[in-house]
Chain A
């Protein structure tokens, strides 16, 4: 675990190289699955094959007797709390008397080789009394049979705005469905737990939220948090899938039990069972509009399948519901969102977090409305576009820029892609040679979405940053230390840029994220540059104030290692002011507070900031075979201020590609509670031949209430690319298409 130093670099608004980039291109960067320790053992997990069953008995004899096995543990061996969970502790560390989803961990093993551990786990005999699983979330809401002792309804969020009785001359209705998407981060869940001499444990882990893990791990181990030390190991992508605990407690239990380091690495198949997925959704919408296409009301019912455990379902359904009518002015709103327990795989955070599902439905409805009125689909959106000062269905007023119409206009005005060539690789089906142009029709579609940035509904959302300024080798140098998880998005680069901008020093080291500094919150909700960026900026300001106090000046800034007046006069060298006395400040930083939703009306200022992106998709569809090739995507997004423009574009392209995957190929297929495709052979994510070139238009309109005016970037691109692509397929085929992912069967009526 090394710290990373940025060499000659630059401040915010430029695109310096990633400090971890060289290690990543040479293969030397230490991902969590790359870790190794002397006398290390390998952990393995035995999982339930049944979605719902009582455990009648567990016989560990065969596993314990296996040569090379050092520990075989079950629920009885969990030293502390037996349950964990991000919002509601309902998930057993290891199954206790029953299992609620297929893949639920039942026992864990540590052995001297991964194959030994696997064989030992396979030798454990679990006797199950199999029960019929509860798998239909809509039926489950009122069902007598329940997944847990409490009812199956995890949360109902009602939104009531304006008149409940509003009517309109033009009404369009639709029922929509979104399949279960997987984050499919490439680096499987993994980590290394090392027992410590003080009876505690050091855990090197790929996670999105070190302190979120810390609290849960310490509780389950029955240890004070001070004896559980987490350090961020290299994270091979996250996208929400690492917000919940996976193998963290298991590895620590095995390490503490054996007194030896224990490494756990999930296989791809296990990974599909080892983290939460995007909630499958069923949604019923009714839009009423006047004859000019202005929305009068929206009524909707949204049901999210939360699976067997709560995870973040309560927050996901709040997002789906509060953002459920999209970035439009709607005077009258009746929306009800439900998150439901079933015996399906647990669902929770994934990029877009509830906004994705709703956007597919409301954008499909906007196209339907345009068709009903004979209007252009962009025109009908522009006519209803949210503007600054408008109120959301929750009553929250939108402050700052909300360039909804502008984003739509921009993607509409972008130059169209070239006509199709003859190269097989540019046709639907590619080199598989399914068409030479026969049956291929082009379609264009649009989508726009809205996402909240940061944690909502009154959550105390903060980050902590420690910045130290000192003289190293005769030069001023800074160290910035937070617990914020770099998951690929480039936060390490941003932190150094902020320090350079604020303190005017070139040499900045970003210390490894760990729990020896206060919480940074989660790298999720498009929040980390905003909140940890805000904390780093605030810590720098505190350091700068201390420098100025020491220098006895209040009229200077720090630039190029010097104290400089506004007029450009150098009054001192930073090196001289610092001397051999470093200045270090630790700051907790919060964005403006949010508030809970009224439980009956859903009214309240629940969100921190809104972010918007629009997409135009151009597709070629082989209408006879039902095969799709996305030809080009044009997208526009307001990012407030691009702190690292190259990374901003990288987020937009990557997020768009994940939305493309949901539109045309990605779905975890669950039948009777069982995942039928837990592999990269059958859960397909887009290849480089599936993702088209993108035109990316970045707006920097500046949000006056955010650090540097920035707006969260990560999630919006994933939200509106899906409905844009489906709209383009509809345009090419004339089909209704109310479900994603769109499969060839849907396009061919087979």
Chain B
């Protein structure tokens, strides 16, 4: 089947989509946007977090056809004309990036958190990011990155 959607502000089209495919597969393998990652494919790790109509979701749990005529924003779409989004810059500066596999999903989740709550408390940060697993950092520098971005 064919799927039409808007990704990072551009109208995109994917053809020959198998209806069992996820939005994640379409983004990664058909639209050349591998930023969202495939780590668990069951909504347990948050590595595939993207905005769907402005709301962060696990792209692995969205059927490709459900994205028809929807608006998707991925980590690739976050940088502005002046370069990295402040959240991306904060992850870099705070040492919140090690292997980096969880980073794109976390960056989207933090971007959403700070849009809703610009000055989150420590428990607010942790509850908002509980759906994003990281195996490298022990989260210490991720919390630091969120605070850095919130202060930016």
Contact = CB atoms under 8 A, between A and B. Distances in A.
Q: Is this pair of chains taken from one and the same complex? A: yes
Nearest to A15: B95
Describe B's contact surface by its main secondary structure: loop
A681 interface: yes
Nearest to B104: A27
A277 B125 CA distance: 32
Interface stretch (A94-102, A286-294, A539-547, A651-659): A651-659
Interface stretch (A16-24, A82-90, A311-319): A16-24
A26 B88 contact: yes
A467 B113 CA distance: 44
Contact of B126 (A26, A33, A234, A689): A689
B139 A25 contact: no
Given A488-B136, A654-B138, A680-B40, A25 B101 contact: no
A654 B104 contact: no
B80 to A, nearest CB: 12
A355 to B, nearest CB: 19
Interface in B56-92: 74-76, 78-79, 84, 88-89, 91-92
A680 B45 contact: yes
A184 interface: yes
Contact of B138 (A20, A646, A655, A680): A655
B44 interface: yes
B140 interface: yes
A650 B44 contact: no
A237 B135 contact: yes
Given A31-B101, A186-B99, A688-B126, A658 B142 contact: no
Contacts of B52: none
A188 B127 contact: no
Given A34-B34, A237-B101, A426-B123, A688 B139 contact: yes
A24 B75 CA distance: 10
B31 to A, nearest CB: 11
B97 A21 contact: yes
B141 A650 contact: yes
Interface residues of A, number: 64
Interface string B125-145: 111011111111111111100
B99 A187 contact: yes
B45 A186 contact: yes
A265 B20 CA distance: 18
A25 B84 contact: yes
Interface in A665-687: 679-681, 685, 687
B36 interface: yes
A27 B74 contact: yes
Interface of B: 18, 20-21, 28-29, 32-42, 44-45, 47, 74-76, 78-79, 84, 88-89, 91-93, 95, 97-104, 107, 122-123, 125-127, 129-143
Minimum-distance CB pairs A-B, first 8:
A27-B35, A488-B99, A24-B100, A653-B138, A236-B101, A657-B138, A680-B44, A34-B34
Interface of A: 15, 17-18, 20-22, 24-31, 33-34, 36, 113, 115, 183-188, 234-239, 265, 267-268, 423, 425-426, 431, 487-490, 646-647, 649-650, 652-658, 679-681, 685, 687-689, 691, 693-694, 696
